[in-house]
A and B are shown apart, each in its own frame.
Chain A
Amino acid sequence: MNLPGAAAPAAPAEAEAGSSLWHDAWLRLRKNRLAVFGLWSLALVTLACVAGPWFSPYGYEEQQLDLGASGPGLRHWLGTDTLGRDLLVRLLTGGRVSLAVGLAATFVALTIGVVYGAVAGFVGGKRDAFLMRVVDIMYSLPFAIFVILLMVMSEEIAKRFNFGPSWRLVLLFVAIGAVEWLTMARIVRSQVMAVKKMEFIEAARSLGYGRRRIIFRHILPNILGPVIVYTTLTIPAVMLLEAFLSFLGLGVQPPMSSWGVLIKDGAEKMEEFPWLLIFPAGIFSLTLFSLNFLGDGLRDALDVRSSKD
């Protein structure tokens, strides 16, 4: 998995000149106990989700109806659900979906936000004012409601256009990404406006480089810090939204499952079988904790001012 946090220390190898910044940041991050904890637990959770199901003797859909819901024990470490399915393996495969949605939707948000913000910040003037006014207006829209509507209608849309079963997942990425890019656009814009006044940009301009080249090759690499930090903080927000939708029954659909789906199922049966709620809720919260700790740690390490608002 390519976590932004994990990528940071690798950067010095490529860029000799920029090495000190990344190296310093890495040293600072390592001193932040919570951030290191976040990094390790994330790595662990990710590894378990990716590799774990291969080592499990049970399939995530494998039912043992005669067993039914059984509590945690030696054969099934985290117990089984009402259909006798092993909870651990369901948690891990569900984690794959949750993490994948988190990463993919964040990637969508990142792409839209960075391009939009960079263009707005670079062109400046009236066009910038217009672009940012659009962002302001979109901020005030009840977006969660739109995403809900979109997910409700997704089946009908799929029927109309003959989309395959993976369509719903793709729609989920895009819909969530389309909601979460606004803050990224604002952050990138303000950063670009600061950087574009610097001399090396003037130098690039005087060399006759085109706008696109200046934006993507010269400005963006210099604002990576805030972008990385905010990306790390967007992943938990995105995963939260996915779980929120799944909890309402609008996200990932069976037979696929995600942490949100498992929490929903667990909440329905918690009176008799509390472990069905406690374990999914626990691992989901742990992952969000870790991502938030890591994001906060990166913010301190890369010395990014709190530019969220």
Chain B
Amino acid sequence: MLRFITSRTLQSLLALFVVITATFFMIRFVPGGPFTAEKAVTPEILANLEAHYGLNKPLWQQYLDYLGSLARGDLGPSFKYPNRTVNEIIADKLPVSAELGALALAFALALGITLGTCAAVYRNTWIDYTASAFGMIGISVPTFVIGPLLVLLCAIHLGWFNASGWYVPADRVLPALVLGFAYAAPISRLTRGGMLEVLHQDFIRTARAKGVSEFRIVTHHALRGGLLPVVSYLGPAVAGILTGSFVIETIFTIPGIGREFVNSAFNRDYTLVLGTVILYAVLIMALNLVVDIVQAWMNPKVRLEG
């Protein structure tokens, strides 16, 4: 087990290094620096600015400097927001996105697991068909379609919520529903599959023979095994929710890190882009790692293959 964890960790670190290096050089490779937009800047000021941010040094020197400060946890100053560091901006925006993501994930899990379990227990009944039709909607109708449509219906026509913004608690409802909805569908599919497999096993029959109620069988006996496929899906799901937040935060004008990333990419705010990419990479890889380890812990077969 320890060997498994070490090898997976090393692998993640390697991938992270690749991400950092690739992004760094990708961004520097293209012409058009962060200061080219402001036409008023004279050559002297430009030179001063570049000297201030270390952009006049050779590229490899900049790269090494960046790695050095990164190792100390410093993501450098932002180019577009004067007097603000990338760390500050992330500290400012990340909690918003984290809250949105956590709500969305909670909703996706609650809905997906409930639906999937019901579909498995009442297999081949209308409940099952409704759940799978719902799954198809979740897979085929993207969030950037559901989002605006829901806003049109619930916010503009019915007036239940604000169409955008992130001020009162009710503002959390629509974005979290839309973002989570897309992931409820695969979760319900996976739960259904896993539950069907478990419900056929002998220990369930034993439990039934002992007179355990059907409800208790599902909640206490079957769910633990039936949710295994869902656990392995959590890594990709969280990664998807993170990137999905680009669109959601744009639709609902939420001041989160996703919208900041898209804006910074448009503005060519090098350090901010790099900082957010690294943040995303670390989050996604750490989650994948945790999922891998949990899975290996729950299922020895994975451990041996890994």
* Chain A residue nearest in CB terms to B247: A247
| CB proximity to B under 8 Å, residues A111-130 | none
Given contacts A136-B11, A247-B144, contact A149 B27 (CB under 8 A): yes
Is residue B293 contacting chain A, with contact meaning CB distance below 8 A? no
For B51-62 the 0/1 string (1 means CB < 8 A from A) is 000000000000
Distance (whole angstroms) from the CB of B174 to the closest CB of chain A: 14
Q: Is the CB of A141 within 8 A of B15?
A: yes
Residues of A within 8 A of B136 (CB): 289, 292-293
Residues of B within 8 A of A140 (CB): 12, 15, 284-285, 288
Is residue B149 contacting chain A, with contact meaning CB distance below 8 A? yes
Stretch at the interface among B118-126, B200-208, B261-269: B261-269
Residues of B within 8 A of A277 (CB): 148-149, 152
Stretch at the interface among B76-84, B210-218, B273-281: B273-281
**Residue in B18, B31, B144 whose CB lies within 8 Å of A137:** B18
Residues of A within 8 A of B32 (CB): 156, 159
Residues of A within 8 A of B163 (CB): 271
Q: Helix, strand, loop or mixed for chain A's interface?
A: helix
**Residue in A133, A244, A292 whose CB lies within 8 Å of B139:** A292
A interface residues (Cβ-Cβ under 8 A, vs B): 133, 136-137, 140-142, 144-146, 148-150, 152-153, 156-157, 159-160, 236, 240, 243-244, 247-248, 260, 263-264, 266-267, 270-271, 274, 277-278, 281, 284-285, 288-289, 292-293, 309
**Residue in B18, B31, B265 whose CB lies within 8 Å of A148:** B265
**Residue in B30, B141, B250 whose CB lies within 8 Å of A153:** B30
Residues of B within 8 A of A266 (CB): 148
Q: Is the CB of A267 within 8 A of B232?
A: no
CA distance A162 to B113 in the complex (A): 52
Distance (whole angstroms) from the CB of B124 to the closest CB of chain A: 15
* Chain B interface extent, by class: 35 or more
Distance (whole angstroms) from the CB of B219 to the closest CB of chain A: 26
Given contacts A144-B243, A149-B277, contact A156 B31 (CB under 8 A): yes
CA distance A141 to B21 in the complex (A): 13
Give the 4 A-B residue pairs with the shortest CB-CB distance, closest first: A267-B148, A156-B30, A288-B140, A144-B243
Is residue B251 contacting chain A, with contact meaning CB distance below 8 A? yes
| CB proximity to A under 8 Å, residues B135-155 | 136, 139-142, 144-145, 147-149, 151-152
Residues of B within 8 A of A149 (CB): 23, 26-27, 265, 273, 277
**Residue in B140, B152, B156, B250 whose CB lies within 8 Å of A248:** B250
* Chain B residue nearest in CB terms to A274: B152
CA distance A271 to B147 in the complex (A): 13
18 contacts between A and B (CB under 8 A): A137-B11, A140-B15, A142-B19, A142-B277, A145-B280, A149-B273, A152-B266, A153-B27, A157-B30, A159-B32, A160-B30, A236-B140, A240-B142, A243-B142, A243-B144, A267-B251, A270-B152, A292-B136
